[in-house]
Chain A
């Protein structure tokens, strides 16, 4: 019988939540790596039992953990992330040059076809790849080699490469997003990169329509239509219909267009989900109401999804990697909050229930649909 496995990263450990296809009763295992920040963990599409986890603390730095049995057991693999060549400088918050310095892995993106190949998006922003199951890591230096890199500035969370999208129809095409540089794309597996931010407008930077410098929070793609991209920017929800060459705003009737995650329904490429947050200086929900917004039209027209979600006195946040979908029918939608709740909907967002209410602050949620 098919089932679902949700991989939850929190500020103090990882949790693995499992259910059958009904998605109404869940087993919870964890904390794994208790006390460590787990920015992200994700399974290989080519081998669902192969999982990778990014584990870090301010004391002891970065670890990468790997599981070959769906999260029952884990082993440390390589944690040596060394920038290629002389790292150079980017800009600090105050506009002065600052040497590139590795801090942590924000996002792990396993290859679509090879369980031993995995990409890592790191802070300070760079893209690394391992082709030996995480034992060794090499930077794809073409990204930081882009002429704009010395002008990249950190967002509030640091200069982080937080999103990696692999195009299933076009091997070698990768989109990444950096806060606060923006979207970059490659068609040659990471040798050369181009900024892909035309159409973005950010009033917080000196030139609001600059080629680089936008605080993109998350981008998403439906695998059946990889030329269509969706974006939650610092402010503004955007879409691209030409593989990132240009973007149009689709915020429409959202109560606020600030937020972090954005995701796409597994079977409806024009159905997308966001969680509006009040503002960039408040980082909590508007009106104390936890509302997921769904658009069935690829943006512009949004409906609030509230059934089963708290509608008063709720002031959590939902971080950029903390939303995911399964591929069952109906599509399941999942998200975690900074208050430690993980909510699930087994009916594409029409109704919600908490899987678990009292975890440490949730940083990331990924979901695997198991055969």
Chain B
């Protein structure tokens, strides 16, 4: 089970409190986790990554295990601690942008 922490505005949009727990088929990567997240919460489509290009939005960052994973390849495996559910994947609104 993958744990994802969303920023407050996206928790409101998705009508969730606290962490989101997702079952992800296959290897846990940013892409597979975001695919699972958007499948469960369709209103989040377009908010973290572009609808068409699937590029991460400029003011959204992805952290885990005290690392900035924002510039990792979308299909790179996430840290084992995230894949095993020991640590959450943090989706963060950058300290800029609105």
Contact = CB atoms under 8 A, between A and B. Distances in A.
Interface stretch (B27-35, B68-76, B78-86, B90-98): B90-98
Interface residues on A, range: 10 to 19
Interface of A: 35-37, 57-63, 76, 79-80, 82
Contacts of B97: 57-59
Given A59-B93, A79-B47, 15 more contacts: A35-B8, A37-B98, A57-B9, A58-B59, A58-B97, A59-B7, A60-B48, A60-B57, A61-B57, A62-B46, A63-B47, A76-B43, A79-B43, A79-B45, A80-B46
Interface string B18-41: 000000000000000000000000
Interface of B: 7-10, 13, 43, 45-48, 51-52, 57, 59-60, 93-94, 96-98
10 contacts: A35-B8, A57-B97, A59-B57, A59-B98, A60-B13, A60-B48, A60-B93, A63-B43, A76-B13, A79-B51
Contacts, number: 47
Contacts of A76: 13, 43
A57 B98 CA distance: 6
A62 B43 CA distance: 11
Given A80-B51, A82-B51, A59 B59 contact: yes
4 nearest A-B pairs in the assembled complex, by CB-CB distance: A58-B97, A58-B98, A76-B43, A60-B47
B60 A60 contact: yes
Nearest to B49: A61
Nearest to A80: B51
Contact of B46 (A35, A36, A61): A61
A70 to B, nearest CB: 21
Contacts of B52: 82
Contacts of A61: 46-47, 57
A76 B13 CA distance: 8
Contacts of B93: 59-60
A80 to B, nearest CB: 5
A59 B46 contact: no
A59 B13 contact: no
Contacts of B7: 59
